Amino acid sequence: MKSVFSAPGDYIYFKSQVPLHRIPIGTKQWRYYDFGPKVVTPLICLPGTAGTADVYYKQIMCLSMKVGYRVISVDIPCVWNHQEWIQSFEKFLDAIDVHHIHLYGTSLGGFLAQLFAQHRPRRVKSLILSNTFLETRSFAAAMPWAPFVSWTPSFLLKRYVLTGIRDGPHEPFIADSVDFVVSQVETLSRDELASRLTLTVDSASVKPLLLSDSFITIMDTNDYSAIPQQLKDQLSERYPGARRAYLKTGGDFPFLSRPDEVNLHLQLHLRRVGLEAQPELVQSIPKDGTGGGPSKENDKEDRDDEQKDNGGNPESNSDESQPSPSAPESSESHGLDEQLLSNAEIHYIDQKDSIILKPSAMSMNQHSAAAGILLQSTWEFFIFSLLPLYVDSLYIYSNNAWKLRQLV
């Protein structure tokens, strides 16, 4: 893991285009991104223990901005048991005026997605499960200090969560995904970490679902993940009729390290269950990002203030007067040449994001700097080469002039 993290250019672009929403529901504070046509049944992304709503930004950039699906990425709020999670999540859906949903969950998020599908089967239309599990017994056995997790200092909780992320030599894209998630862990408060670890070890298991296996996709990586292979095998045995999608590599966070493959499998799943995108509506998305509730735009740096909001004080949210940027146009019409990052342009080529440096800014500066260095080197060469000759000539001239004076 790198000691210094620099936010990727596409993430900076995402933050400039998609507003962050916060909505207090009872004593819970929900933090989420919501982008895409409101008429489309949303795909809701649930992160794992170390994730936040930001980790699915690549899915929103592809599926919402370019394809025409509505994607909602949420943070898991501070809930302390699974029944509280189900009730809180249902209230959140009611608050943003969403009834039917498709759920994409990874790790802990996949487990919570299954629990919600078990207890609220009429609301869940389909499931995409990635690197997840059916029961928490093995995690509870591996964490004997679980009863004291709510009293544990924040730095110990962060250290425990980070030890579950494999460190060492990675492929560049996997290493970048690890660095991004680590940066997100640093933004989580002690209560948020304690809550998620409690949900991971609290005794519970997923019972058989009313949802047909044909509406479930299991997407796993074949290299490694923090979820033991035995638990992933149990998941496959529970849903024998589910569609399998395997990624050759990707680590614990394939949605960041292999976004093109993950987005392709998500699109195939949504089309298979009968959900069609509405790309013609992407250009007409209002500036609030189609957030369904009384949402407001906030920066990630304000997360430390969320604990004050958990008391149900809506005044602590940021002002609605802050304008949020309009949604970008579809890549099928033309590239996003006019929407620039400081010295970069983002172009969409075959559903892949590439950042190209602008020659008018960075390249010109580099050329001028190189020319300056070359000119300086040339002057230094001539000065240090000719200086000895000049000194020798001066010595000979002065010596001859002295001899001439003596003769005269």
Domain count, the chain: 1
In a domain, 307, yes or no: no
pLDDT in tens, 34-75: 999 999 999 999 999 999 999 999 999 999 999 999 999 999
> Mean per-residue pLDDT for 346-375?
39
pLDDT in tens, 205-244: 999 999 999 999 999 999 888 899 999 999 999 999 999 9
- What pLDDT was estimated at residue 4? 56
Alpha-carbon distance 68 to 278, whole Å?
5
In a domain, 310, yes or no: no
What CATH number did the domain enclosing 252 receive? Answer: 3.40.50.1820
pLDDT in tens, 132-164: 999 999 999 989 888 889 899 999 999 999 988
* Per-residue H/E/C for the chain: CCCCCCCCHHHHHHHHHCCEEEEEECCEEEEEEEECCCCCCCEEEECCCCCCHHHHHHHHHHHHHHHCCCEEEECCCCCCCHHHHHHHHHHHHHHCCCCCEEEEEECHHHHHHHHHHHHCCCCEEEEEEECCCCECHHHHHCCCCHHHHHHCCHHHHHHHHHHCCCCCCCCHHHHHHHHHHHHHHCCCCHHHHHHHHHHHHCCCECCCCCCCHHHEEEEEECCCCCCCHHHHHHHHHHCCCCEEEEECCCCCCHHHHCHHHHHHHHHHHHHHCCCCCCHHHHHHCCCCCCCCCCCCCCCHHHHHHHHHHCCCCHHHCCCCCCCCCCCCCCCCCCCEEEEEECCEEEEEECCEEEEEECHHHHHHHHHHHHHHHHHHHHHHHHHHHHHHHHHHHHHHHHHHHHHHHHHC
* Higher pLDDT, residue 252 or 380: 252
Range of the domain at 148: 9-281
Kindly tell me if the per-residue pLDDT of 356 is higher than 80: no
In a domain, 233, yes or no: yes
In a domain, 308, yes or no: no
In a domain, 210, yes or no: yes
pTM: 0.71
* Higher pLDDT, residue 251 or 372: 251
| pLDDT band, residue 305 (cuts 50/70/90) | very low
* Higher pLDDT, residue 353 or 142: 142
In a domain, 151, yes or no: yes
- Quote the percentage of the chain above a pLDDT of 90: 60
In a domain, 287, yes or no: no
Alpha-carbon distance 256 to 372, whole Å?
40
| pLDDT band, residue 283 (cuts 50/70/90) | low
Compute the mean pLDDT over every residue in the chain, rounded to the nearest whole number: 78
Of the listed ranges 8-12, 170-174, 280-284, the least confidently predicted one is: 280-284
In a domain, 171, yes or no: yes
- What pLDDT was estimated at residue 216? 98
